[in-house]
Chains A and B, each alone.
Chain A
Amino acid sequence: MENKFAIETVNLKKTYKGKSHPTLNGLSLRIPYGSLFGLLAPNGAGKTTAINIICGLRKYDSGKVFVDGHDQSDGMKAIKPLLGLVPQDIALFPTLTAYENLKILGGLYGIKKSVLEERIDQLLELFDLSASRHSYINRFSGGMKRRVNMIAGMLHAPGILILDEPTVGVDAQSRMMILEKLTEINRSGTTILFISHYLEEAEHICNEVAFMDDGSVICQGSPADLIRAYTPCDSMESIYLKLTGKRMRDTQ
């Protein structure tokens, strides 16, 4: 049977040591190939845990994870080259230049030197960072750091790009640019898993979203379909509040 999903989790469960409440409580998520998929949830709902498990950074208690049809329990060797992670933290080496950071991180994918250099040039150009290529990361603005952080996850041209809050703490111009580039990258065939607190961003760029609460998916569909299904809600934010309520989750 042909695999239709870039990422699929089946009844995924995870309870952290020392915690009685499960962080993931039967998460079943299906992210189709070529989609720009928004995963939306309150703080503490288990988004980061889900990403960490998909990327092999955490073990899960039960369930299944498939990436491009590869069962994660068989190991991460086949999965790692397929995934590009853009973490919420600026996971770069601050005392190195943008170019040095990208060269090292790209080098770890085993990309040939000449190909890597060409790819770095292209991406720096795409994100308007060519002029700052030899500046140290710790001298960059927040928006520039975010853009380099994104480039670092895309150096090996992954089939699946996972972005955890890529627009946090940046100005409107940088945010606009990041969203535009993500749409362009998605159009070129890359599947994108986009995690954000900014619901209007998801509504604007995602072609499919899933709302997650208490460790599982509570609804999934295209923004337009969801707005129709939850009339009289007229935006993703109103659907989100209707489904998740006003109770704080991260104080549990």
Chain B
Amino acid sequence: MRKFRYLLYKDYLLLKRDVAGLLLMFLMPAILVVLMALLQESTFQSIADVSVPMMLVNHDKGELGSTIDREVEASGIFKITRDIDGSIPTLEELEKEVASSRYVIGIYIPENTTESIRRNVARYVLATFSGATDLPPMDNVNFVVFVDPTTKASFYATIMSTLKEKTQKIEFTYIMNEITRQVNEISPIPISTLGFAGEQVHIDIRDARLQGKDLVPNPVQHNIPAWSLFAIFFVVISLSGSIIRERQDGSFSRLLTMPCSYTEYLLSKAFTFIVVCLIQFGLMLLIGVFVMPLFGLDSLNLGTSPLALILLALSAAVSAIGYGIAIGNIANTYHQSSVFGAISVVIMAAIGGIWIPTFIMSEPMRKIGMLSPLHWGLSGFLDVFLLDAGVRAVLPECGVMLLFGLVCFAIAVSFNYRRRLDV
């Protein structure tokens, strides 16, 4: 333990003395998080070429439900699924599907929607012809639209306006046709429909939530974890560089001639840089909570499970450190490690959904994206920040990230063993 303390002291001093490196490690991510959160807030994202996964549950046996189904599909924006393993889902099942991020949007058209509207129109027509001054009570007709709260705000706004426009147009056309039909049945004399409100169907838009959870999503909730993860992974450059420098200047070999094992050497590096990652992540969260409101954005809501948050941050740090150690052992020069490290982290961020949501990616790309630890990290953090998930809910994400880190660590040890000892 005393030896390990000296190794930690060495890594701590080396970090502390590299003031420029430390500034880059903390200042750059902070700037990145603030800028990206601000930029993404105001960026309009086109969804013209996007196929948004949607689950459409139509319990209405009438004409309105099928027309909405047909028209939404004809828009070409949505990739529609209508059942789960052959059965039509209930409202609760639909919410669960959307909350689990399998679909971005879920539309629920209740039973007898067409019939209810037809009855409302009949009551209105009858009241108008009987000379009543007050409109009769109407049946409630509620569509429910669930939205995955992890959907980026700009996409959310665009998708919802497109959806509203479609459904209202269909609804209005249908009601006008129905009024005309029913009036013609009673009298050939044309009547005015000005007193009848076109919006008989109320669209109830809800954020899909896991049972009993109640957090309000905002862009900060999406952007802070995404860019913080990205920043955590940039520790790869500093860590791999430190391993390569020590290998090249001979201090690594000197350490191994002392009573210090390679595992102890790596553990000391890993421990020191994990602490750096955790401090870095804490700083990003503080920026989300206290600095973002200064720019007119919402404050970051940290969810209700600090333990889940710590577990996720630790797992993300382990995966980043494992990756950094692997690069440090595989690369021959500092130049190789810095270029490969930086580019590979950008690629992992891109396929992992940090820049663009994974749902707009093609199916093969979505599958490839699952190889990125950033994908799992982001998914876990969004669960905590948006769905108010606890420790149990984020265990799969933590497990994948830890596994990624450990596999990288094993690759590093095996590679180092073969190269160093020439076996």
CB distance from B11 to the nearest CB of A (A): 10
Main secondary structure of the interface of A (DSSP, over half): loop
Asked if A108 meets B7 with Cβ closer than 8 Å, knowing A57-B420, A58-B421, A89-B250, the reply is yes
Q: Quick one: which of B1-59 are within 8 Å of A by CB?
A: 2-3, 5-7, 9-10, 13-14, 17-18
Q: A95 to B251, Cβ gap below 8 A?
A: no
Closest A residue to B264 by beta carbon equals A108
Q: A96 to B258, Cβ gap below 8 A?
A: no
B residues near A87, Cβ cutoff 8 Å: 250, 253-254
Interface string of A85-106 (1 = CB under 8 A from B): 1011111111110001001110
Q: Quick one: which of A170-186 are within 8 Å of B by CB?
A: none
Selected contact of B14 from candidates A59, A96, A103, A152, CB within 8 Å: A96
Asked if A108 meets B260 with Cβ closer than 8 Å, knowing A59-B422, A95-B17, the reply is yes
Q: Tell me the bound Cα distance from A96 to B3 in angstroms.
A: 18
A50 within 8 A of B: no
Q: Tell me the bound Cα distance from A252 to B69 in angstroms.
A: 77
CB distance from B341 to the nearest CB of A (A): 21
Q: A91 to B422, Cβ gap below 8 A?
A: no
A residues near B422, Cβ cutoff 8 Å: 16-17, 58-59
Asked if A85 meets B257 with Cβ closer than 8 Å, knowing A107-B3, A108-B3, A108-B6, the reply is yes
Q: A57 to B14, Cβ gap below 8 A?
A: no
Q: A81 to B6, Cβ gap below 8 A?
A: no
Interface string of B253-295 (1 = CB under 8 A from A): 1111111100000000000000000000000000000000000
Selected contact of A104 from candidates B10, B18, B259, B423, CB within 8 Å: B10
B92 within 8 A of A: no
A80 within 8 A of B: yes
B residues near A32, Cβ cutoff 8 Å: none
Selected contact of B257 from candidates A83, A88, A92, CB within 8 Å: A83
A56 within 8 A of B: yes
B residues near A105, Cβ cutoff 8 Å: 254, 258
CB distance from B421 to the nearest CB of A (A): 4
Count B interface residues, CB 8 Å. 26
Q: How many A-B residue pairs have CB under 8 A?
A: 81
Q: B249 to A94, Cβ gap below 8 A?
A: yes
A198 within 8 A of B: no
Q: Tell me the bound Cα distance from A108 to B11 in angstroms.
A: 13
Q: A93 to B257, Cβ gap below 8 A?
A: no
Q: Tell me the bound Cα distance from A152 to B249 in angstroms.
A: 15
CB distance from B413 to the nearest CB of A (A): 16
A232 within 8 A of B: no
Asked if A89 meets B249 with Cβ closer than 8 Å, knowing A80-B258, A100-B13, the reply is yes
Q: B257 to A55, Cβ gap below 8 A?
A: yes
Q: B14 to A91, Cβ gap below 8 A?
A: no
Selected contact of A110 from candidates B257, B259, B420, CB within 8 Å: B259
A residues near B420, Cβ cutoff 8 Å: 57-58
A residues near B18, Cβ cutoff 8 Å: 95
Q: Tell me the bound Cα distance from A95 to B251 in angstroms.
A: 13
Closest A residue to B253 by beta carbon equals A57
A109 within 8 A of B: yes
Selected contact of A108 from candidates B14, B250, B253, B258, CB within 8 Å: B258
B residues near A109, Cβ cutoff 8 Å: 258-259
Q: A56 to B3, Cβ gap below 8 A?
A: no
Q: Tell me the bound Cα distance from A88 to B10 in angstroms.
A: 22
B residues near A104, Cβ cutoff 8 Å: 6-7, 9-10, 13
Q: Tell me the bound Cα distance from A109 to B258 in angstroms.
A: 7
CB distance from A180 to the nearest CB of B (A): 24
CB distance from A242 to the nearest CB of B (A): 33
Q: B254 to A91, Cβ gap below 8 A?
A: yes
For the complex of A and B, 4 pairs with smallest distance between CB atoms: A89-B250, A107-B6, A91-B250, A95-B17
Q: A108-B7, A109-B259 are in contact. List 5 more A-B contacts (CB 8 A).
A: A83-B257, A92-B249, A93-B251, A105-B258, A152-B254
Name A's B-contacting residues (CB within 8 A): 16-17, 52, 55-59, 77, 80-81, 83, 85, 87-96, 100, 103-105, 107-110, 136, 152
Name B's A-contacting residues (CB within 8 A): 2-3, 5-7, 9-10, 13-14, 17-18, 249-251, 253-260, 420-423
27 A–B pairs (Cβ distance < 8 Å), ordered by A: A56-B256, A57-B421, A59-B421, A59-B423, A80-B258, A83-B257, A85-B254, A87-B250, A87-B253, A87-B254, A90-B250, A91-B249, A91-B254, A92-B251, A93-B251, A96-B10, A96-B13, A96-B14, A96-B17, A104-B10, A105-B258, A107-B2, A107-B3, A107-B6, A108-B255, A108-B259, A109-B258
